[in-house]
A and B are shown apart, each in its own frame.
Chain A
Amino acid sequence: MHDRFWLFLATLGYLASAGWGLYALGSRRPVSNRWTILLIGAAFVLHTLFLHQRGESIRHCPITNLFETLAFLSWSLVLTYLVVGPAYRMSILGAFTAPVVFLINFFALTAPIDSPGTLPPLGWQLELHASLALLGLGVLGVAALAGVAYLIQERQLKRRELTPWFYSLPNVGPLEQVQHRVLVMGFVIFSAGAVLGFFIPHQNTEDWVKIAWSGVVWSLYAALIVGLGRLSHKKTALLSVGGYIFILLTFWGINSLSEAHVFPHGG
């Protein structure tokens, strides 16, 4: 479809941003992160244009098949980064966000998972439920990326091996704070989306696979949030990263197995 072109361009933008971000991280001299943010910002505009055009053409929130869902998930990641990065002076996190977003989009664009078709009315509750859940997962993704940055810094400090990354990455203390705040924010949004799902009238039988998966994800993050005051920062970061890897690895399979979450055209 024509709208895929915009996503393709956006993905190229994320690739360029990832390249610049990684160069800035590894450079021995101070390198401005302005290009990372500008490139991600420009790619985000194209990404939004894709979602808008797709939404217009299918007359639904563009999360009706796995391709659109992945594109929406990666869009949520970038949106969170664009809010969190400048607000907390963590623009360098773009060096971590851009590669992940590029990989998600690359998979979405290359895998045969885009099967548009005529859809019945889905109802605003269902669209809100799905989009909130995906937005929450996007926010949790940025928390995981902040966790990755924390773990890299922590490892360098523990091993006393101070590479150029040590100077480019944010301080450990602010990284912890940002990670915790974004984690709580993502959990609240994901929970709101999940809870909304219980109030949607179901025509079919309950989708136990998806409900069980959502329950596992919710429980994992709930335990993490409860443990924020007790777990060490390193364990919190490890669990946040591990949890998100679990989400990314199982997202495809769960969406394939899920019945109620597959729309009538078979996407």
Chain B
Amino acid sequence: MSSRMEARMATMSAQVICGGLTFEKTPVELREKVAFNDSQLPEALGRMREMLGLHEAVLVSTCNRVEYFGATARPEVAAAAWPDFLRRFHQVPDDFSLLSFQLGGTSCVEHLFSVASGLKSMVVGETEVLGQLKEAYDLARVNGQTGKWLNRLFQSSFAAAKSVRSGTGITRGSVSVGSVAVELAEKIFGDLHACHAMVIGAGDTSERTARSLLSRGVPSILVANRTYDRAQALAAQLGGEAVHWEGWEDHAIDVDIMISSTSAPHYVLTSEKLEGLLKRRGRRPLFLIDLAVPRDFEPSINLFDDVYLYDIDDLQSIAQAHLCERQLEIVRSVEILKPHVARYMEWAQRQAGVTGADDARTGLTLA
């Protein structure tokens, strides 16, 4: 038998496998040692495929997981070689064998589809992981590391993730303080490209929230702080403009969103002050985000029409509620994934030409 034919036979009897390290079992101190940056990935992919004996390979490296996906007729070889590959490539002494997992056949397909749908993310339902999977797959495909098994597997996983996103509320509602604030701002103003924001006090949370707003289109940010130098420093980081503390109220007239996180022991903005401000700024809606403890904005200002006030507790409780709702959607998401998994496995069985009796050997068993 020619080597070409042997390779072809091996490919036909291959099964899809996956394995690696995830945040669930591996602490960040270890994950960061074996994470691959963009420039390392093409080389790492080739070496990994060779060492693990994979016919096809995709390597996924994100903050929360370092995983491989492959097609092979000898999954046990891949499982044994994976920790060694990590050790050698990153030149670290750690043993990753106990922390690594490996799945094959249906379990592997279920795993990838769940990951792509955000069901196995640290923040359930997050959509960033889908983009990361697409990038990893594209890199492998462009480098000629994928074939029919992984091409079909990844494309099916993208379709499955889309079904979950559109068929459940798994991605609905933001789950961090910053993103909840942005979501609320978008609900109040619609498009944020015409909104102007101001940060009062140069705290970390307000900086993160300001960055979230900028990423969603807010064109300019003013920064006011008791120490002008700090205001300038933060403004420079945000690409905004620093204003003197004494004059922040004058600048607030043109602002639509105000984020405050000063350490002042008293209210920075009282109902009385806001009343004067509202008369000067007209009836445009105003979104006030109070991230300070003790609070910077007097709670009663929420009673003014067209003024929406949220403090840190409000934002956190909304984020928590969203997270709980997402958790509840997991069961429904799994049900949506089942037919996608079954379709892939049926296709894989047809490709492998196996019968039901061979299922146990190939791992191509339906759930």
Interface residues of A (CB under 8 A from B): 28-30, 153, 157-158, 160, 162, 166-167, 171-174, 229-235
Q: Binding site of B, secondary structure by majority: helix, strand, loop or mixed? A: helix
- In this complex, what residue of A is CB-closest to B302? A158
- In this complex, what residue of A is CB-closest to B303? A158
Q: Is the CB of B169 within 8 A of A233?
A: no
Q: Is the CB of B305 within 8 A of A234?
A: yes
Q: Is the CB of B190 within 8 A of A173?
A: yes
Q: Is the CB of A172 within 8 A of B167?
A: no
**Do A232 and B172 contact each other (CB < 8 Å), given the known contacts A30-B166, A157-B188, A173-B285?**
no
Does chain A have a CB within 8 A of B346?
no
In the bound complex, what is the Cα–Cα distance between A173 and B169 (angstroms)? 24
A153-B187, A167-B173 given; 8 more Cβ-contact pairs under 8 Å: A28-B325, A158-B302, A162-B173, A172-B188, A173-B188, A173-B189, A173-B191, A233-B285
7 inter-chain pairs at a CB distance below 8 angstroms, sorted by A residue, are: A157-B187, A160-B317, A160-B318, A166-B187, A171-B189, A232-B283, A235-B305
Range of interface residues on chain B?
A: 20 to 34
Q: Is the CB of B306 within 8 A of A167?
A: no
- In this complex, what residue of A is CB-closest to B172? A167
In the bound complex, what is the Cα–Cα distance between A56 and B341 (angstroms)? 59
Chain A hits for B23, CB < 8 A: none
Binary interface profile of B, 165-191, with partner A (CB < 8 Å = 1, else 0)?
011110011000000000010111111
Does chain A have a CB within 8 A of B308?
yes
Does chain A have a CB within 8 A of B245?
no
In the bound complex, what is the Cα–Cα distance between A162 and B325 (angstroms)? 12
Q: Is the CB of B283 within 8 A of A157?
A: no
Chain A hits for B173, CB < 8 A: 162, 167
Chain A hits for B189, CB < 8 A: 171-173
Q: How many A-B residue pairs have CB under 8 A?
A: 60
Does chain A have a CB within 8 A of B314?
yes
**Do A171 and B305 contact each other (CB < 8 Å), given the known contacts A28-B325, A29-B168?**
no
Q: Is the CB of A171 within 8 A of B167?
A: no
Interface residues of B (CB under 8 A from A): 166-169, 172-173, 184, 186-191, 283, 285, 302, 305-306, 308, 310, 314, 317-318, 321, 325, 329, 332
Q: Is the CB of B306 within 8 A of A233?
A: yes
Q: Is the CB of B187 within 8 A of A29?
A: no
Chain B hits for A162, CB < 8 A: 173, 318, 321
Q: Is the CB of A172 within 8 A of B169?
A: no
Q: Is the CB of A29 within 8 A of B283?
A: no
B288 CB, nearest partner CB in chain A, Å: 12
Q: Is the CB of A160 within 8 A of B310?
A: yes
Q: Which of B186, B305, B332 contacts A232 (CB under 8 A)?
A: B305
Q: Is the CB of B188 within 8 A of A171?
A: yes
**Do A174 and B190 contact each other (CB < 8 Å), given the known contacts A28-B172, A160-B314, A233-B306?**
yes
A54 CB, nearest partner CB in chain B, Å: 41
Q: Is the CB of A171 within 8 A of B172?
A: no
Chain B hits for A234, CB < 8 A: 305-306
- In this complex, what residue of B is CB-closest to A164? B169
Q: Binding site of A, secondary structure by majority: helix, strand, loop or mixed? A: helix
B337 CB, nearest partner CB in chain A, Å: 15
- List of 5 A-B pairs having minimum Cβ-Cβ separation, nearest first: A232-B305, A173-B190, A171-B190, A174-B190, A173-B189
Chain B hits for A174, CB < 8 A: 190
In the bound complex, what is the Cα–Cα distance between A181 and B317 (angstroms)? 36
In the bound complex, what is the Cα–Cα distance between A21 and B329 (angstroms)? 22
Q: Which of A29, A157, A229 contacts B308 (CB under 8 A)?
A: A157
Chain B hits for A235, CB < 8 A: 305
- In this complex, what residue of B is CB-closest to A171? B190
Chain A hits for B285, CB < 8 A: 172-173, 233
**Do A29 and B169 contact each other (CB < 8 Å), given the known contacts A160-B318, A173-B188, A234-B305?**
yes
In the bound complex, what is the Cα–Cα distance between A229 and B284 (angstroms)? 10
In the bound complex, what is the Cα–Cα distance between A167 and B171 (angstroms)? 12
A142 CB, nearest partner CB in chain B, Å: 19
B23 CB, nearest partner CB in chain A, Å: 27
B235 CB, nearest partner CB in chain A, Å: 27
Chain B hits for A231, CB < 8 A: 283
Q: Which of A28, A30, A172, A229 contacts B187 (CB under 8 A)?
A: A172
Q: Which of B173, B283, B321, B325 has the most CB of A within 10 A?
A: B283
In the bound complex, what is the Cα–Cα distance between A233 and B286 (angstroms)? 12
In the bound complex, what is the Cα–Cα distance between A82 and B183 (angstroms)? 29
Chain B hits for A232, CB < 8 A: 283, 305-306
**Do A28 and B169 contact each other (CB < 8 Å), given the known contacts A157-B308, A235-B305?**
yes
Chain A hits for B166, CB < 8 A: 30
In the bound complex, what is the Cα–Cα distance between A261 and B190 (angstroms)? 45
Q: Which of B166, B285, B314, B332 has the most CB of A within 10 A?
A: B285
A249 CB, nearest partner CB in chain B, Å: 26
Chain A hits for B188, CB < 8 A: 157, 171-173
Chain A hits for B169, CB < 8 A: 28-30
Q: Which of A167, A171, A233 contacts B283 (CB under 8 A)?
A: A233
Q: Is the CB of B308 within 8 A of A158?
A: yes
A159 CB, nearest partner CB in chain B, Å: 9
Chain A hits for B191, CB < 8 A: 173
In the bound complex, what is the Cα–Cα distance between A158 and B310 (angstroms)? 9
In the bound complex, what is the Cα–Cα distance between A157 and B168 (angstroms)? 24
In the bound complex, what is the Cα–Cα distance between A171 and B325 (angstroms)? 21
In the bound complex, what is the Cα–Cα distance between A174 and B188 (angstroms)? 9
A164 CB, nearest partner CB in chain B, Å: 8
In the bound complex, what is the Cα–Cα distance between A167 and B173 (angstroms)? 8
